[in-house]
Amino acid sequence: MSICIVTGAAGLIGAETVRFLAEKGMDVAGIDNDMRRRFFGEEASTAWSHERLQSDVRRYRHFDLDIRDTSGIAALFAQHRKDIAAVVHTAAQPSHDWAARDPQTDFTVNANGTLNLLEATRQYCPDAAFIFTSTNKVYGDRPNHLPLIESDQRWELDPGHPFAAQGINETMSIDGCMHSLFGASKLAADILVQEYGRYFGLKTACFRGGCLTGPGHSGTRLHGFLAYLVRCAVTREPYTVLGYKGKQVRDNIHSYDMVNAFWQFIMKPRSGEVYNIGGGRHANCSVLEVIDLCETLTGRPFNWTYSDQNRTGDHIWWISDVSRFKSHYPEWNYRYDLKTMLGEIIDRAQNRFEQSGDANAS
């Protein structure tokens, strides 16, 4: 029997992982205690996703565990031991702003929780693939020191820079810059994952994601760029663009494409790997560009205002260079481009919010 343990199982990437691996024939033990509700309120709760997994995925078993619970995590791993073929760790406190409000909780969830999972893997299933959903925020605001050129709707990298053609690769320094407390806690976890690969020989990988998205995202103001923007587009809730003239650029990767990358690693794991992963040059946009695209796809004006105050530690321009991952796993490629993924998110949001009565008439 082959088992995968998935943390944050009801979240965007967690739920996609559960469904993907179950379809591949694996049993899945999902860990999720809906901390997202505590972080961001009722609108961000993943309870609806948990209920769908329980009803739709026969191979899924749910465990209402906190990843900071050392003994509880150890007991779950001890129950299954070497039947565990993979650990996919997606659980996190994911917001810059929230981390500054409660640094203790942010760090213990992101860093200590990761340590608990690594140690349980080392003790009970050392041959399992261990995948950590890291973040591009481990680079802090270092990308903001790149030579950027302003155009009508976006910032773009000087075409003479080595990162211009394919995006930012893993050689970018993590030192001498501001990370935000969230970035620091995720970086601590990221380095732990690398170290358990290099020091203990575990089969670990850090996937440093750009903007992860998809119709399963419970987007909210403090986290979930495209999902929250689409929510506002559909419901006509006011949206505030924060700083950089709305020309800040994000690459966006659909949850399916992200999890398919995980699958490639599970099939041929390596030790202590680091991969930048995102939409790359294939799927990226500025805030202004995606607002225009939302207006086109929904057929209604977008209710937005602008504030000069950017978020602390936010990136002006981020596009991931995924070439290192593709060199290791050449069979992986994108299924979704920006317009396709945005259309899918809009369709799901319209069904969800119109049925709940949250959408306003245009």
Say yes or no to pLDDT of 202 above 90: yes
Confidence of residue 362 (pLDDT cuts 50, 70, 90): very low
**Listed residue (183, 289, 215, 202) closest to 245, CA to CA:** 289
How do residues 255-270 score in pLDDT, each as one tens digit? 999 999 999 999 999 9
Mean pLDDT of all residues in 307-317 = 87
- pLDDT value, residue 221: 58
Query: Tokens 């469904």 appear where?
Result: 19
Say yes or no to pLDDT of 184 above 80: yes
How do residues 209-228 score in pLDDT, each as one tens digit? 989 998 876 655 545 577 88
Mean pLDDT of all residues in 303-329 = 93
b (16+ CB within 10 A) / e for 324-344: bbbeebeebebebebeebbbb
- pLDDT value, residue 217: 65
- For the chain, the domains span 3-356
Question: Going by CATH, does the domain composed of 3-356 fall within 1.10.3720.10?
Answer: no
**DSSP label at residue 72:** H
b (16+ CB within 10 A) / e for 44-70: bbbeebbebbeeebebbebbebbbbee
- Cα–chain-centroid distance for residue 123? 27
Say yes or no to pLDDT of 5 above 70: yes
How do residues 70-120 score in pLDDT, each as one tens digit? 999 999 999 999 999 999 999 999 888 889 999 999 999 999 999 999 999
Contact assessment for residue 25 and residue 107, using Cβ atoms and an 8 Å cutoff: no
b (16+ CB within 10 A) / e for 243-282: bbbbbbbbbbbbbbbbbbbbbbbbeebebbbbbbbbbbeb
Q: At residue 155, what are phi and psi to the nearest 5 degrees? A: -90, 145
- pLDDT value, residue 127: 97
How do residues 325-348 score in pLDDT, each as one tens digit? 999 999 999 999 999 999 998 988
How do residues 41-54 score in pLDDT, each as one tens digit? 887 788 888 899 99
Highest mean pLDDT among 39-43, 296-300, 311-315, 330-334: 330-334
Bin 324: left if φ > 0, else alpha if -120 < ψ < 50, else beta.
alpha
Does pTM top 0.85 for this prediction? yes
- pLDDT value, residue 173: 97
Most distant pair of Cα atoms in the chain: their distance = 58
- pLDDT value, residue 101: 93
- pLDDT value, residue 49: 87
